[in-house]
Amino acid sequence: MRVLGIETSCDETGVAIYDTDKGLLAHQLYSQVALHADYGGVVPELASRDHVRKTIPMVEATIKAAGLTSDQIDGVAYTAGPGLVGALLVGACIGRSLAYGWQIPALAVHHMEGHLLAPMLEENPPEFPFVALLVSGGHTQLVQVDGIGRYKLLGESVDDAAGEAFDKTAKLMGLDYPGGPRLAALAEQGVANRYKFPRPMTDKPGLNFSFSGLKTHTANTIATEADDAQTRADIARAFQDAVVDTLLIKCRRALEQTGLKRLVVAGGVSANKELRIKLHELLSKRGGAVYFPRTEFCTDNGAMIAFAGAQRLLAGETNDLSIKTRPRWPLDELAAV
């Protein structure tokens, strides 16, 4: 089964074709970073308009790159949430319309399920069950995954997501958009342990996260001490170390609580080098394994949507002609496959 995947939940337009027999055939990704840079963050209306301009040409280019024609596509999967409602509507309308025109089934895909399953696109995919850390600009969640659609939420952020905290802190430091990767790059120049920032909610039981207090602590430190380039780098290092350590502690607790030894890490922040190093060390010591998507599939992309959609379409799941998007959509509401 060949499935066309369309991702337009925020500021990246992603299109891909996944073949359930041959794997990923082709994918295209367009980032709107340059479009939003002047505003210091994503402008929803501009994001939606850019998706309108880019999606159809990218669909055509992806089909051509796969060496296919439209009549060789067996299904269409599109992101229906969570995300920016206007951006979601663009992909949903295009995806549903293409499926109707081609007389093939269409499926609304959960954005975070796409991220969760992204490591399945790699040569050495994880086996079920596992614990998943979904860590991005909009979400920080720990999920027990027993199969596709068999999800148990273990913990989540009660305020800022980890990626959001990275971006907001970067803005406080005067770094350009997108701030998260720029702050991580600055942290590489910092001296470890010059500053010791709090590891929020790690002194309490449970698996929820909170990063707003850490952001405030960092803001106060910036305001009083960031008077030279090295100090700024040291503050960035302290902030990143605090976030990484917090994620590490919570992942260890989740593995202990579930008794599992496999960890999947996905979402934009999963590209962070320090996080990858520390989690590899943790799982190695525990005799387990950690799985990441390749760097290009850490951020939003069409490949993960095509894959997730293909698994559900293959199981016979489809949607009717109505076009529905869900800017907020709990992951554990999904049906098991």
Q: What is the distance between the alpha carbons of residues 5 and 306, in angstroms, rounded to a whole number?
A: 4
Residue ranges of the annotated binding site for substrate are 134-138, 167, 180, 272
Is 123 in a helix, a strand, or coil? coil
pLDDT digits (tens, 9 = 90+) for 176-221: 989 999 999 999 999 999 999 999 999 989 999 999 999 999 999 9
Which domains, and CATH codes, for the chain? 2-117+297-333 (3.30.420.40), 128-292 (3.30.420.40)
Question: Residue 226: its pLDDT value, please?
Answer: 76
pLDDT digits (tens, 9 = 90+) for 247-270: 999 999 999 999 999 999 999 999
Q: What is the distance between the alpha carbons of residues 314 and 302, in angstroms, rounded to a whole number?
A: 18
Residue 5 bridge partners (DSSP): 16, 77
Question: Residue 242: its pLDDT value, please?
Answer: 98
Mean pLDDT of the region 228-249: 97
Residue ranges of the annotated binding site are 111, 115, 134-138, 167, 180, 272, 300
Q: What is the distance between the alpha carbons of residues 236 and 224, in angstroms, rounded to a whole number?
A: 14
Question: Residue 298: its pLDDT value, please?
Answer: 96
pTM of the model: 0.96
| Residue tagged 């979402």 (tokens) | 267
Q: What is the distance between the alpha carbons of residues 331 and 337, in angstroms, rounded to a whole number?
A: 14
Residue ranges of the annotated binding site for Fe cation are 111, 115, 300
CA torsion angle for 81, 119, 332, 105 (degrees, to 10)?
50
pLDDT at 169 over 80: yes
Higher pLDDT, residue 137 or 55: 55
